[in-house]
Amino acid sequence: MISALSISPVRQNHSDTGKSIPVYITSTKVVLEGELQVPDEPLGVVLFAHGSGSSRHSVRNRMVARTLHRAGIGTLLFDLLTPQENVEDQIDGFFRFDIPLLTSRLLMATSWLHSHPAAKDLPYAYFGASTGAAAALVAAAEIGPSIRAVVSRGGRPDLALRHLSKVKSPILLIVGGQDDLVLKLNERALATMTCEKKLEVIPYASHLFEEPGTLEQVASLAADWFETHLHP
């Protein structure tokens, strides 16, 4: 399904959005830094897979996260790369396109979250941007429908092409109307998906949604999608 942007009803704001907690997601090989924020009576938790050359400090992802908090949805923003990997990636851009690596880190964070007392019993969803969206789709394909929903912002689902038919989670693809190449890639990927799916095109928006009001539209669409699919 492809649609133009529609106006969503105003959602209820949650006065207590919880505190942001610094966390360390650990395995035998790496330690990833993150921030977990879970409001009172949360609908679930959205794990963010950031885009190319980004981190948990992404201004765009943090803006979307604030909108989710107001909707009563928790978030986990974390670094997909270690500090050393990030330094190397800034030089050659290699790690940001290593989808198997990014996917393994997202799966690691999801497993870690299952053991956290504030989030272990909640439903989960993914929000991915750029190459991080490809990792989110591959991880959702591996985990299955217990990942309640996936939202991709300016994503590269073409980098997860052979996994898309295995994704059972409802997928929302959000692309800027001026982001011609990525829009074509998303349209092609949409045709291969067999799950509940939707493509939202935001008019006049470029790849990074830097135009006034466009990122707010992304956040609103994402919150609506998560609210719908995180409900029991």
- Is 160 domain-assigned? yes
Question: Quick one: which of 231, 130, 136, 150 has its CA closest to 195?
Answer: 150
Residue 47 CA, distance from chain mean position = 6
Q: What is the pLDDT of residue 17?
A: 63
pLDDT tens sequence across 44-83: 999 999 977 677 888 989 999 999 999 999 999 999 998 8
Segments forming the whole domain that contains residue 100: 28-230
> What is the Cα–Cα distance from 175 to 152, expressed in whole angstroms?
8
**For residue 201, what are the β-bridge partners?**
4, 175
pLDDT tens sequence across 84-130: 988 888 887 788 899 999 999 999 999 999 999 999 899 999 999 99
- Is 14 domain-assigned? no
Q: What are the angstrom distances between the C-alpha of 62 and each of 5, 37, 38, 139, 156? A: 22, 11, 14, 22, 20
Q: What is the pLDDT of residue 86?
A: 84
Residue 70: what are its φ and ψ, rounded to 5°? Answer: -65, -20
> What is the Cα–Cα distance from 171 to 193, expressed in whole angstroms?
9
pLDDT tens sequence across 80-96: 998 898 888 888 778 88
- Is 124 domain-assigned? yes
- Is 23 domain-assigned? no
Q: Give percent of the chain with pLDDT exceeding 90.
A: 77
**Number of domains present in the structure of the chain:** 1
Q: Give the mean pLDDT of 166-183.
A: 98
- Spatial strand order in the sheet of 197-202: 2-4, 197-202, 171-176, 147-153, 124-129, 45-49, 74-78, 31-37, 20-26
> CATH number, domain at 143?
3.40.50.1820
